[in-house]
């Protein structure tokens, strides 16, 4: 590990991210249309906005699958619509990568040794970020936006923070839940106002292309799609409960698990005396990123960059990792990040990793470990203070 850290210096690592994820876009393009349908589903709905047609439903002339994102996201993706597919895919992955790198960079800017912490965190995250990039998904953008929002929030720049949280809302709406961390920081009324203003501006942005009644209809369709969406692969507690314990696949059972997970996540907020403690705040952010995926019935492999980012942020809070902590990180790297790769034979993936949702298990164990550390943290709070932007 030390040898790897010495070779992959932070500048080299940042460059490696960019080159590797550009290569992922190029690989998808060369493999053919079926390998970049996700990108087409993001970029091509803008075509229907131009024609004032519904962006929902199936449009096989543009892409395969049902568009599940907001009208505003289709509007934001307008520039990509006009680009050749290869160039658009490369720039899409670069955009996602840059936002992820910026999120990690700025979020860790007030650590004792930020360069070292950034380097370690990015090494932990890279495999999951690559899986997202290979699928041309938006999860790198989402987790980067969450971290940028949290960075600006703790620096009391509420308008910038609200912008990134609302951006999450209009791409993958559950990311906006990170805005709840405003409770830890000053300027609460100003932040709430900023969230309202940005939400309104994002929501009405497509009015530059379609009339109000049509936009209202599109939002109604979007909400219906969200409610009626088929369940994902459930690489989460739900999938573990089904595969390991035979839990029936019903909405009622999912709601019970979601309620248990949400209750366990919210309970540490009762430790009011620690709200201003830096370590508590960092642990709660890591805890949130893990919870958001591990208890998500729609979780699938490309979403795990969020959970593993939570693992990375937890790891850099540890001054002296215990043997248990080291084992847990190893499990995450091997069974969460490496399990979908060609390192393991296809038969093991098909017959063991996938049906038993092994990818989710190490993150669930880290989630439990973080919860234990949160509850056993002493009440010797070290208050946070607003920091200046650090380059």
Domain span at residue 264 reads 231-378
Locate 335 and state its tokens: 């069974």
Locate 1 and state its tokens: 């590990």
- Cα–Cα distance measured from residue 296 to residue 144, given in angstroms and rounded to the nearest whole number: 19
Query: In 3-state terms, what secondary structure has residue 187?
Result: coil
Alpha carbon 386 to its chain's center: 25
| Helix pair 114-134, 304-315: axis angle to 10 deg | 170
The least confident of 189-193, 201-205, 235-239 is: 235-239
- Residue partners of 367: CB distance under 8 A and separation at least 6: 287, 290, 291, 294, 310
Q: What are the DSSP calls for 338-356, one per residue? A: STTSTTS-HHHIIIIITTT
List, for residues 62-83, the tens digit of each pLDDT value: 888 888 899 999 999 999 999 9
List, for residues 294-338, the tens digit of each pLDDT value: 998 888 889 999 999 999 999 999 999 999 999 999 999 999 999
Residue whose C-alpha is closest to residue 163's, from 176, 173, 174: 176
* Rounded average pLDDT over 108-117: 91
Q: 28 pLDDT exceeds 90? A: yes
Length of the chain: 391
* Rounded average pLDDT over 143-151: 97
202 part of a folded domain: no
C-alpha neighbours within 13 Å on the C-beta side of residue 147 = 30
Task: Find the angle CA(338)-CA(339)-CA(344) to the nearest 5 degrees.
Answer: 95
Q: Which residue has the tokens 């459930």?
A: 234
Which own/partner contact pairs does 382-386 have at CB distance under 8 Å and 24+ positions apart?
382/277, 382/278, 382/279, 383/276, 383/277, 384/154, 384/184, 384/276, 384/277, 384/278, 384/281, 386/154, 386/155, 386/156, 386/186
Alpha carbon 252 to its chain's center: 26
Q: What percent of the chain has pLDDT over 90?
A: 73
pLDDT at 1: 59
262 part of a folded domain: yes
336 part of a folded domain: yes
pLDDT at 231: 57
Binned at pLDDT 50, 70 and 90, residue 390 comes out as very low
- Cα–Cα distance measured from residue 82 to residue 92, given in angstroms and rounded to the nearest whole number: 13
- Cα–Cα distance measured from residue 354 to residue 235, given in angstroms and rounded to the nearest whole number: 8
pLDDT at 2: 67
C-alpha neighbours within 13 Å on the C-beta side of residue 313 = 32
Alpha carbon 139 to its chain's center: 5
pLDDT at 252: 87
pLDDT at 57: 85
332 part of a folded domain: yes
Q: Which residue has the tokens 């215990």?
A: 322
List, for residues 155-171, the tens digit of each pLDDT value: 999 999 999 999 999 99
- Cα–Cα distance measured from residue 135 to residue 32, given in angstroms and rounded to the nearest whole number: 13
* Rounded average pLDDT over 190-209: 97
- Cα–Cα distance measured from residue 275 to residue 268, given in angstroms and rounded to the nearest whole number: 10
Q: Note the pTM of the prediction, 2 decimals.
A: 0.93
Residue 289: count of CB within 10 angstroms of its CB? 28
Query: What DSSP state is assigned to residue 379?
Result: S
pLDDT at 87: 97
Average pLDDT of every residue of the chain:
91
Buried b / exposed e over 332-359, threshold 16 CB at 10 Å, is: bbebbbebbeeeeeeeebeeebbeebbb
pLDDT at 334: 95
Residue whose C-alpha is closest to residue 220's, from 232, 230, 228: 228
Domains of the chain: total? 1
- Cα–Cα distance measured from residue 236 to residue 257, given in angstroms and rounded to the nearest whole number: 11
pLDDT at 232: 57
Q: Which residue has the tokens 């936009």?
A: 215
Q: What are the DSSP calls for 34-63, one per residue? A: GGSHHHHHHHTHHHHHHTT--S-S--TTT-
Residue whose C-alpha is closest to residue 258's, from 216, 292, 218: 292
Q: 388 pLDDT exceeds 60? A: no
32 part of a folded domain: no
- Residue partners of 287: CB distance under 8 A and separation at least 6: 265, 268, 310, 314, 367, 370, 371, 374
Binned at pLDDT 50, 70 and 90, residue 229 comes out as low
The least confident of 109-123, 125-139, 232-246, 252-266 is: 232-246
338 part of a folded domain: yes
Residue with the bigger pLDDT between 111 and 370: it is 370
pLDDT at 22: 96
117 part of a folded domain: no
372 part of a folded domain: yes
Identify whether the C-beta of residue 333 lies closer than 8 Å to the C-beta of residue 277. no
């Amino acid at each position: 590990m030390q040898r790897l850290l010495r070779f992959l210096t932070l500048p080299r690592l940042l460059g490696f991210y960019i080159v590797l994820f550009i290569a992922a876009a190029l690989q998808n393009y060369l493999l053919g249309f079926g390998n970049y349908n996700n990108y087409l589903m993001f970029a091509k709905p803008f075509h229907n906005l131009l024609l004032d047609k519904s962006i929902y439903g199936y449009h096989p002339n543009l892409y395969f699958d049902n568009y599940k994102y907001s009208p505003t996201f289709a509007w934001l993706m307008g520039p990509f619509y006009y680009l050749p597919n290869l160039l658009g895919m490369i720039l899409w992955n670069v955009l996602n990568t840059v936002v992820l790198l910026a999120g990690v960079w700025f979020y860790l800017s007030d650590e004792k040794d930020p360069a070292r912490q950034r380097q370690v965190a990015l090494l932990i995250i890279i495999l999951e970020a690559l899986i997202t990039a290979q699928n041309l998904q938006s999860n790198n953008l989402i987790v980067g936006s969450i971290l940028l929002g949290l960075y600006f929030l703790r620096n009391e720049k509420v308008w910038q923070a609200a912008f990134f949280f609302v951006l999450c809302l209009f791409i993958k709406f559950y990311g906006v839940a990170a805005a709840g961390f405003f409770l830890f920081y000053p300027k609460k009324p100003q932040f709430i106002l900023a969230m309202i203003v940005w939400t309104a501006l994002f929501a009405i942005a497509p009015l530059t292309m379609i009339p109000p009644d049509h936009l209202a209809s599109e939002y109604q369709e979007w909400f219906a799609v969200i409610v009626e969406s088929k369940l994902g692969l459930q690489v989460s507690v739900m999938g573990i409960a089904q595969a390991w314990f035979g839990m029936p696949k019903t909405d009622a059972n999912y709601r019970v698990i979601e309620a248990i997970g949400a209750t366990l996540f919210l309970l540490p907020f009762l430790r009011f005396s620690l709200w201003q403690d830096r370590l508590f705040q960092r642990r709660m952010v890591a805890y949130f990123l893990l919870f958001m995926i591990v208890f998500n019935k729609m979780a699938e492999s490309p979403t795990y960059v969020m959970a593993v980012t939570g693992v990375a942020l937890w790891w850099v809070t540890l001054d002296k990792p215990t043997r248990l902590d080291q084992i847990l990180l190893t499990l995450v790297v091997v069974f969460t990040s490496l399990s979908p790769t060609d390192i393991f034979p296809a038969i093991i993936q098909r017959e063991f990793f996938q049906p038993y949702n092994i990818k989710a298990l190490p993150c669930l164990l880290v989630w439990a470990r973080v919860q234990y550390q949160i509850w056993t943290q002493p009440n010797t709070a070290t208050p946070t203070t607003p920091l200046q932007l650090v380059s």
